Structure 1
């Protein structure tokens, strides 16, 4: 078998009807996959998809390439593995339909054998995709995940044909069961032999086996081996040890027919209401983040390096669990979670039979859900990082008897395909009872509480008797009950349902102090997943902070007006830069002992703000402002302490109790003067840690690449800042930065964490935000890539990255 990435040689353009022609300048253009066809389209305040897509239009697109078909392929079987095409993908070979895949997040296979030409004529491969008002967030469009060309013997291992489980583990040995499907696409019975070899994390062979396998024509046969690994190294978030299983299929004479390999982990999972979640017998509380599928400046395009970077930075920020919201996670991110020790809740869908967008997946989901479940499980089942499958998110019909029937159907289908993991669902009792919310309000003891903020309302209604009764059956089919914005249920559910295990599948970011205290206190609550860990495109402005005294301000609720593009609700922004809320969360988690200083922008001091339940504060951790000495400024210091003292150049500005304004926060009203600002945290009078901010000197344009070299086809991430010689960035002197790339590579994306902007990620110029902008460079060949950044009034700067062969 040969497997190659089919990423070059493509063109893409608008999909036209047979009697249409391209307008001038709108014809097909050459692209390299993965590719997002929506990212660079012009945005508009009048765009019908509005806030959901970040005011980005939809469209229908056609990808085309010529496939070179050598004569020897006559004796082979040829397939394309698509990891994801958004959405309603139709694959044609030489004008004939090969396969249709409606689900924009499901992987699928196109078998090309019946359609290939061997007469010297070109073999034309076409993929159609479309996206329009079918998502509540920015979806992207097109072939946005990798495509693999697989050429194999007619007797071969099919896609996802290897399943590894570890049913029996103790300290002395682990039993590893490997099931291999062998497919015979010939007209004759074939006698084959399967050989297995397991290697440990150091590459040393630790177990092997072999078995003859007879495969009937046009049929599959499953070969199984139970192999014993001595003294196993267990996979755990703290030490993610990975083994490798290699399978070889030979014919009766010993000639190789096919081979496949997969990584796996050896670990046990247990969960119950008394002891919570345990991995390898050790309790684990899930410090979770919800994440969307886009990659910020790259749009929806899924690159291995970008997914790995997201997982690494989220792990570094204190998370140990990710929820893929609200669709199946990419293969690349699952691989990264395996490598870095991030556990995963992978999600099937955002809707079942009742639509949330005019043209969403509910159109076909009732007829094709079995394929969607099978695709999700087949992708995930060898990944030790995956511990839970979520069958849905805030399902509208979940609180009805028929909705509960669907819940049971999906849960049992998942268990049938993979009984080794837990099943959950992101339940929002309010969403499941929208037509009956008036009745729920009447059940609340104090009607005045409905004058509280939106977040409080959600909690109160989610705990109402009406909601409790309506979701009981749907919750009962789950191993772990996921609750969205319903921490108000946690204590009572322990009494009403003593065996119920709960996870906070989606929670408000500013409530992590409350949420984590509940997680720590209650054994049946196994973790919390904030909305969100990484900022994302679409649902524009859902976590913004606006100044309500601005001219023309209109309170639009949770919808950010144009030109908002980003949600602005991530702990990390779309470039991977940690916002102040990330450090607050790290302290709440108990992972940081030093305090952390966050400063409200002096230019907005005293102005009224408009926020949403997903907002944090408009703060930056800097003491470098273009403000007059003596200007009033508010400073928050996050700390797990009794009190914090603030000093400027060694002079005390006073002490403040932690928790007076909010848990883990000490607030100061002071004046801005350049210098060294120090926060000293104390408990019982003893110092527990300190944090220092220094005013920047003369800023210049600086750039550094996160890695010195990347593989061909991979990405280099170049961070560009306005900072002094010590690397201290300035936050309020933003300028447009022009970026050029010379050598065997291209600028794949350029952007900042600014949520409200009309700039394009596809341009070569982008304005810094709080002194930062990120350039993403794709290496298209071996050699030196020189990245140059320039800005008016600053000397240019260059960095060099080496592209190397894989």
Structure 2
């Protein structure tokens, strides 16, 4: 078998009818996959998709490339494996339809055999389209990797190897393996399947094999129970991984196919008395909801970008991710396996009642079984995956027919994988919208409705009406996911003593309350904030408005143009930790030192408007272009009784922690350059301190995240306005031009600024709070030099080497 990425040589342009001609400048252009066809389209305040897509238009697109087909392929099976095409993908070879896949998040295969012209150059085309089919920025096109596979007609199909560990103790683990062998010939074939298990340190720890006879045109499954002695178990604290090599040979020992599968050995248990346990150890889920886009890269899914996101989220204190509201990429699952984050992988945002005019509900009733099967097949060998979520805020969930859909989906998941738990992100208010007709008429979308309800939302979510309507749908689950319904946690322990709950989606600023409930209540196994990483679309949902701004008009949760980002992540789209991330880390008990967050002096005293997804407009810096003596508000996050604030050694006062909000002490003071120190104390004893200093003369700096990058991979270059000590200035932003020389290209450029008309595909972008991220794709071996320049600053350079 040969398997190689098919990422080069593609062109993309608008999908046109047979009698249409492209507009000037809109013809096909050369691209490298993965690719997002929407990212660089012009945005407009009049765009019909509006705030949902971040004012980015949709469209229909056609990708094309040539494929050389040698005569030797005549005796082989040839297929393309797509990890994701958004959306309604149609694959053609030489003008003939090969396959159609409507689900924009589902992986699928295109078997090319019937359409190949041997010894010729064949023409491959892929259509994709996106328009008013999502409540967030979806991207469009071949946005996840594509692989060309050439195999023997007797081979292992995609996701054809399954590994489970049903019996584990300290002395040994039983590794149950199953390999599907497919025979697409006209003759019965005698084969042999062999397995080898390699341990985390590279040694062979188990092996086995058996003969398998496969009738023509059928599949046969070979199974074995292999024994691994003294297993090293996978856990978020030590994510040990094993590798299973599966080989298929013919009767004479000739190689037919092979497959490599990574897996972990671990047990997962859940109950309302002990909560969640992995390998018998209790684990409270410090969870983050994440969308699928990669910020400046748009929706394009690169292995290095997914790995970086997972790594930075774990460094910020999270130990669990919820893929919202669609199946997680394979690359992110691999990264969660490697770095030790557990996963709640989600099937869909809607079933049969639509949330957008052209969303997946159009085909869901006909194809739900394929969607479930695809999700499970992708996930079932990943030790990081512990829960399948069958939906998010499903509109029909509170009805009798909706309950039958809940049961149907949950049981199908269990048929395919009984080793993991089934959940669902239930929002009792959303599930009862027909009973809230008056509220529906007054608002544009569900987010605004929930934001406007305030404390009433908690009361309604805990009401008898909601309780009765969701009881059947909740009963089919192993773990009941509640979105914005912590008001139910205590009462459900009484009304449903066998019910296990997870906060599947919660308001970020309420983490002090939410985590207190998780720690107090054993039947509540964790909390997933909205969101861990900022994302494109649902623009401005977490913004802070200054209401005295000329022309200000309340717009609910919808950020007016040119808002592009949600602005609700603990980490912004560049991976920089916002101040709320450090507050959360302190609430989790993972950070002992306090943390200083300064409200921008230029806005001091101005009235603000926020949403339930907002945090404060703060930055951890004492470098401001403000007058000496200007009033300023300083927040200090701390797990302490009190905090003392000092400037250049002189006390600015002591404030109690918790007067304004739990884990927070607030100071009203004046800005003077110098060294600002926060000292936290409990019972009079210092528990930690945090220092911020005024920057010296800033200069433009560029630093790559690593020195060497594999060809085809990404380097992430942080561009900052900082002094020689690395202290970044926050309010002197400049437009930076980025150039790349050598075997690499600028794949994306952006900042954490939520409201902007700048393009991620441009070579220049304005810093935000002194920071900017350039993403470099390395296309060949050798040195790639990145140069950053801005008016008034010396040029900054950094380099990486492609290997």
Same fold by TM-score, threshold 0.5 exceeded? yes
- After TM superposition, give the deviation of residue 130 of structure 1 in Å: 0.1
**Structure 1: runs of 5 or more not aligned:** 442-449
Q: Which residue is 2:376 aligned to?
A: 377
> What corresponds to 1:78 in structure 2?
78
Contact 2:70 2:120 in 1 (8 A): no
RMSD of the TM alignment (CA)? 1.1
Residue 446 of structure 1: aligned partner: none
1:71-108 CA distances to partner (integer Å, 9 max, x unpaired)?
A: 11001000110000000000001111110000000000
Q: CA deviation at 1:458?
A: 1.8
2:303 counterpart of 1:271: no
Task: Report how far residue 454 of structure 1 moved.
Answer: 3.4
* Superposition pairs of residues 554-569 of structure 1, within 5 angstroms: 554-569=553-568
Match of 1:105, SS state, is coil
Normalised by the size of structure 1, how large is the TM-score?
0.98
Deviation at 1:457, TM superposition (A): 2.4
Deviation at 1:203, TM superposition (A): 1.0
Q: Is the 8 A contact 1:318 1:586 kept in 2?
A: yes
1:417-436 matches, within 5 Å, as 417-436=416-435
CA distance in 2, matches of 1:459, 1:219: 54
Counterpart residue number, 1:44: 44
> Using the alignment, how far apart are the partners of 2:293 and 2:431 within structure 1?
27
Q: TM-score when scaled to structure 2?
A: 0.98
| 1:603 paired to 2:599 | no
CA 1:659 to 1:150, structure 2 compared with 1: closer, same or farther past 3 Å? same
Distance 1:123-1:475 versus aligned 2 partners, 3 A rule: same
Alignment partner, residue 705 of structure 1: 704
Task: Verify: 1:364 aligned to 2:363, yes or no.
Answer: yes
- Once residues 643 and 437 of structure 2 are traced to their aligned partners in structure 1, the CA distance between those partners, rounded to angstroms, is 46
CA distance in 1 between partners of 2:277 and 2:24 (Å)? 61
Q: Residue 196 of structure 1 corresponds to which residue in structure 2?
A: 195
Shift of 1:438: 6.9
Taking the TM superposition and a 5 Å limit, the aligned residue runs for 1:660-699 are: 660-699=659-698
The reply on whether 1:7 has 2:7 as its aligned counterpart is: yes
Local SS of the residue matching 1:681: strand
Query: How far apart, CA to CA, are the structure 2 residues paired with 1:245 and 1:455?
Result: 52
**2:520 — aligned with what?**
521
Where do 1:525-536 residues align within 5 Å?
525-536=524-535
1:28-427 matched pairs, under 5 angstroms:
28-118=28-118, 120-427=119-426
Query: How far off is 1:496 after superposition?
Result: 0.2
Return the offset for 1:673. Answer: 0.2
For 2:761 and 2:782, how far apart are their aligned partners in 1?
24
Secondary structure class of the residue paired with 2:164: strand
CA contact (8 A) 1:440 1:467 kept: no
In structure 2, the residue matched to 1:639 is 638
Shift, 1:440, TM fit: 11
CA distance in 2, matches of 1:439, 1:15: 42
- List per-residue Cα deviations over 1:206-264 (Å, max 9, x = no partner): 00001000000011000001000000000000000000000110010111111111100
* 8 A contact 1:193–1:249 mirrored in 2: yes
Q: CA separation in 2, counterparts of 1:451 and 1:581?
A: 22
Question: What secondary structure is seen at the aligned counterpart in 2 of 1:794?
Answer: coil
On the 8 A contact 2:451/2:612 being kept in 1, the answer is: no
Residue 756 of structure 2 aligns to a residue whose secondary structure is: coil
- Give a deviation string over 1:458-517, Cα, whole Å, max 9, x none: 211111110000000000000000000000000000000000000000000000000000
Distance in 2, matches of 1:366 and 1:521, equals 41
Report the Cα distance in structure 1 between the residues aligned to 2:602 and 2:453, rounded to whole angstroms: 29
1:486 has 2:495 as partner? no
1:577 corresponds to: 576
Deviation (angstroms), 1:283: 0.2
Matches within 5 A, 1:714-733: 714-733=713-732
Q: Which residue of the partner structure matches residue 749 of structure 1? A: 748
Aligned to 2:799: 800
Q: Deviations over 1:278-326 (max 9, x none)?
A: 0000000000000000000000000000000000000000000000000
Inter-partner Cα distance in structure 2 for 1:49 and 1:13: 21
Structure 2 vs 1, CA of residues 121 and 68 (structure 1 numbering), >3 Å: closer, same or farther? closer
- In the other structure, the counterpart of 1:778 is 777
1:26 aligns with 2:26: yes
Measured against aligned partners, the alpha-carbon deviations of 1:706-756 in whole angstroms (never above 9, x if no partner) come to: 011100000000000000000000000000000000000100000000000
Listed one character per residue, the Cα deviations across residues 40-96 of structure 1 (whole Å, up to 9, x for unaligned) are 000000000000000000000000001111111001000110000000000001111
Contact 1:93 1:112 in 2 (8 A): yes
1:752-794 residue CA offsets vs partner (Å, 9 max, x unmatched): 0000000000000000000000000000111000000000000
Task: Give the whole-Å Cα distance in 2 for the aligned partners of 1:787 and 1:167.
Answer: 50
Aligned to 1:552: 551
Give the match's secondary structure for 1:416: helix
Q: Check conservation: 1:454, 1:613, Cα contact below 8 A.
A: no
Do 2:451 and 2:611's aligned partners in 1 also have CA atoms closer than 8 Å? no
State the distance in 1 between where 2:361 and 2:456 align: 29
Deviation at 1:451, TM superposition (A): 13
Rounded Cα–Cα distance in structure 2 between residues aligned with 1:590 and 1:397:
39
CA distance, structure 2, for counterparts of residue 767 and residue 779 of structure 1: 24
- For 1:754 and 1:501, the matched residues in 2 are separated by 39
**Preserved CA contact (<8 Å) 2:450 2:457:** no
1:452 Cα deviation after fit: 10
Mapped to 2, the partners of 1:437 and 1:453 lie a distance apart of 14
Q: CA deviation at 1:439?
A: 10
Aligned length: 795
Q: Deviations over 1:673-693 (max 9, x none)?
A: 000000000000000000000
